[in-house]
A = this chain, B = another copy of it.
Amino acid sequence: MNQPRIQGRHAGLNRDQILEAAVALIDAEGRRALSMRRLAQELGVEAMTLYHYVRNKGALEDAIVEHVLAESVEEPDGDGSWQEVLADYARALHRGLLAHPGVVPLFATRPALTPRGVRTLEDLLGILTDAGFTPRTALTMVHATAACVLGQHVGRGDEDAEEATASALPAGEDLPLMRAALADGVPGLEERFQIVLTALVSGYEATLSG
């Protein structure tokens, strides 16, 4: 990556290389490590070079979000109940965010889900409307579900914030239920994801029959 190179010569850079390097940098050193200068260095190039491929840092962050989404969420295969298809979609997003925890905060700032991937969305809407939801309700459900999944990942901060919660319990106070709840360890991300997904799907079912 840090090969010296004759000045003024093409570096042979392209947009995807930049995005992959950016994601790799974030995965390795956290999102605070992502700066135009640092990323350029990682690519063996001067910072200004990057401005030939992205308008500015904001656009770079948008592109990173898109890149991670495109990598984890794929088009639903035709078969399976709407419940399974929606759950698969949620699980794919969940896995994508698990794989790149450092990019989660970028989702928090950037336009979010599916400026691209409209095709995937259309397919999802098809399956949901076939099940009896209106197009508008279906779209709201998909967006809402994605936002719930994202929400579970947000605020996990520097990994073991969860440990902190446990030890931050005021020593003196009388909090029997909190202590009982934490006896088998702090409920983690996976547990929250599971309970949310189950509840949402079963809640949407109730909407349909009600």
Closest partner residue, chain B, to A113 (CB atom):
B155
What's the Cα separation between A118 and B135 when bound, in Å? 41
Q: A151-B151, A164-B115 are in contact. Are A141 and B108 (CB under 8 A)?
A: no
Interchain CB contact under 8 A, B151 and A187: no
Chain copies in the assembled complex: 2
Residues of B within 8 A of A6 (CB): none
* A111-133 contacts to B (CB < 8 Å): 111-115, 118-119, 121-122, 125-126, 129
**Cβ contact within 8 Å between B203 and A173:** no
Q: Of B148, B184, B206, B207, which one neighbours A147 at CB under 8 angstroms?
A: B148
Q: Is the CB of B140 within 8 A of A195?
A: yes
Interface of A is mostly: helix
**Judging by beta carbons under 8 Å apart, are B157 and A112 in contact?**
yes
Quick check: is A2 within 8 A (CB to CB) of the other chain?
Answer: no
Find residues 191-210 in chain A having any chain B CB closer than 8 Å to their own CB.
Answer: 191-192, 195-196, 198-204, 206-207
The docked-state distance in angstroms from the alpha carbon of A115 to that of B181 is 16
B178 x A121 contact (CB < 8 A): yes
Q: Given that A122-B177, A152-B144, A195-B140 are contacting pairs, would A157 and B109 also be in contact in the complex, using a CB cutoff of 8 Å? A: yes
Question: A7 to chain B: closest CB distance in Å?
Answer: 35
Residues of B within 8 A of A134 (CB): 181
| A22 sits at the interface (CB 8 A) | no
